[in-house]
Structure 1
Amino acid sequence: MILLPTINRSVLLVIPKQPFYDWSNKLFPDLEPTNMADIDEYNSYLLEDELFIDDPKGELKSYWKKIFLNELYEQCMDETTFPALSWKLFTQWFDFHRSAVVSDLTSDPLYTDE
C-alpha cells in the first residue's frame, strides 16, 4: 500500500453563486455577462489542519471576510463598488466545500508567492 504524503493544511473550495456574478455583471455592462453555469474553475484556500466545518460560521470566523474580499478583488479592484460584507451575504453568494486531508502528489517543494 502506498501512503501519499499529506501537508498540515485543510482546503476550502469556494464556488461563487449567480448573485456574485450578477454583482460583477452590473459593474461591467459592456462585457459579456458571466453565468455561473459557464464557470468550471474555482479558488481554493488553505486553512489550518483538521478544520472541520461542523459550525461553518464559527470555524471560518477569521477567514470568511478575507476570502470574500479576495473573491471581490478578482472581479473589481474598486472597493467603492463592494457590498457591505456579512456572513449572510457570503453564504448567499458562495458555496464552499472542505477537505480535511491534503495529499501532495509532487516532489516539488512548497513555497509561498507573495
Structure 2
Amino acid sequence: MNHPTINRSALLVVPKQPFYDWSNALTPDLTPVSIENISDYNTYLLEDELFLDNPKKELNKYWKTIFISELFGQWTNEEDYPDLSWELFTHWFDFYKSSIISDLTDAPLYTEEYG
C-alpha cells in the first residue's frame, strides 16, 4: 500500500470548557456552548517533523496565531480578546500532533484564503 505523504506535521487543537466559558460570556442571550456538544476541531499544518518534546519551545512561533484563529472562530471583535499567554493557551486548549499526513484521495491539493 503506497499513499503519498505531505511534508507537514498536523496539530489538532481541542478547546477546553474555559474557552467556551469566555465565548459564552460574550453572548449571554444565546444557548451556552459546552464541550459535550462539540465534535469538530481545527487542525493546523506546521513544519515537518514537529516533535512536541518541548511544546512551549516548539510551538513558539505558532501558538499565538493558533490562539487568535480559535478566538476569531468564536468572536471577531479583537478588542474583547483576553491577554494572550502560553499559560492561557494551555489552560484553554489541548493539542495533539501527527507527524505523518497521508493523502488517501486522488483529488489534487489546493489552498483557499479566508479573511
Match for 2:61: what amino acid? Answer: S
Match for 1:84: what amino acid? Answer: D
Supply the RMSD in Å over aligned alpha carbons.
Answer: 0.5
Match for 2:32: what amino acid? Answer: P
Give the corresponding residue for 1:56.
55
Which of structure 1's runs of 4+ aligned residues deviate more than 4 A?
none
Q: How far is the alpha carbon of 1:3 from its aligned partner? A: 2.1
SS at match of 1:112: coil
SS at match of 2:79: helix
Give the corresponding residue for 1:44.
43
Match for 2:86: what amino acid? Answer: W
Q: Which runs of 5+ in 2 are unaligned?
A: none
Give the corresponding residue for 1:97.
96
Give CA deviations for 1:22-45 in whole Å, capped at 9, x if unaligned.
000000000000001110000000
d(CA) in 2 for partners of 1:62 and 1:110?
25
Identity of aligned residues (%): 62
d(CA) in 2 for partners of 1:50 and 1:105?
20
Superposed, which structure 2 residues align to 1:1-114 within 5 Å? 2-114=1-113
How many residue pairs match? The answer is 113
TM-score (norm 2): 0.97
d(CA) in 2 for partners of 1:58 and 1:101?
21
Give CA deviations for 1:68-109 in whole Å, capped at 9, x if unaligned.
000000101101110000000000000000000000011111
